[in-house]
Structure 1
């Protein structure tokens, strides 16, 4: 029985790459965003509030990232389940009210499906927030593929 476990998690460099890509996508669609990246333990790694992003969306972006990392699925997953009578009704009250059920939070996973962290975006519509978050996830996936290729080349 092992006394220690090693859990893969995002690095600050990966978080910065995610934010840079998300900011570029936000500029491309014309919607300034609050962008939060958390590690696999839901702790904040990097945050950006673009000029013009809604101040009231800061905590929403943080909570989207928290939820996506902690529950290991996109926040949009809960969209239909949280209405009155739904199986997840009231879940937003969990975790000190931090559980977010609005689209815009996406987990970042490695090739083994392990959650490394998450990105949460907020200011636009849920679809816009998720589009911007997706750009951040794709930037990290690109880094992971490059690292994997370098490791294979060494073997």
Structure 2
């Protein structure tokens, strides 16, 4: 009989750590952003939009997190896959809940298992990815 080890899910406390770290990284760069953290089921754990962030950044941060979660990959790594000649070129419009293939979404793993995702929107795609990646370094 094999015993499966339970993986601790992403908690609201973890989500707040991710949001705070991404926010600090964005503030240090002088960029106003929105940050979304989703659990493994795609449910919202935490969200924050800076007062000066463009309104659409709330939607883009959430879709980036959702895309990273569903495909278990950083959105920065998926951009080429949805170009017209890419293998997933129809994926952005194929589902009821649209995916967003712009850098800034990163899946969160714990003990090798997918437990959630973080998405950042509001800066240039490379900046959003860097802020999300910086946040990932704070999770224990």
TM-score, normalised with respect to structure 2: 0.91
Deviation at 1:98, TM superposition (A): 2.1
Partner of 2:131: 132
- In the aligned structure 2, how far is the partner of 1:70 from the partner of 1:82? 15
Deviations 1:65-110 (A, max 9, x none): 1111122111112111111121110111133242111100001111
RMSD of the TM alignment (CA)?
1.7
> Normalized against structure 1, the TM-score is what?
0.82
Distance 1:94 1:7, change over 3 A: farther
Cα displacement string for residues 25-77 of structure 1 (whole angstroms, at most 9, x for unaligned residues): 00001101000000011111000001211101211111111111122111112
**What residue number does 1:21 align with?**
21
State the structure with more CA Rg.
1
Q: 1:115 Cα deviation (Å)?
A: 1.1
SS at match of 1:80: helix
How many residues in Structure 1 have an aligned counterpart in Structure 2?
137
Corresponding residue for residue 92 of structure 2: 92
Higher helix proportion (structure 1 or 2): 1
Q: Distance in 2 between matches of 1:130 and 1:119?
A: 10
Q: Which runs of 5+ in 1 are unaligned?
A: 1-5, 145-155
For residues 21 and 83 of structure 1, the distance between their equivalents in structure 2, rounded to whole angstroms, comes to 32
Deviates more, 1:80-89 or 1:28-37: 80-89
Q: Distance in 2 between matches of 1:45 and 1:17?
A: 11
**Residue 26 of structure 2: SS of its match in structure 1?**
helix
- Given that 1:75 and 1:106 are in contact with CA atoms closer than 8 Å, whether structure 2 keeps it comes out as yes
Q: Distance in 1 between matches of 2:132 and 2:23?
A: 9
Q: Which runs of 5+ in 2 are unaligned?
A: 1-5
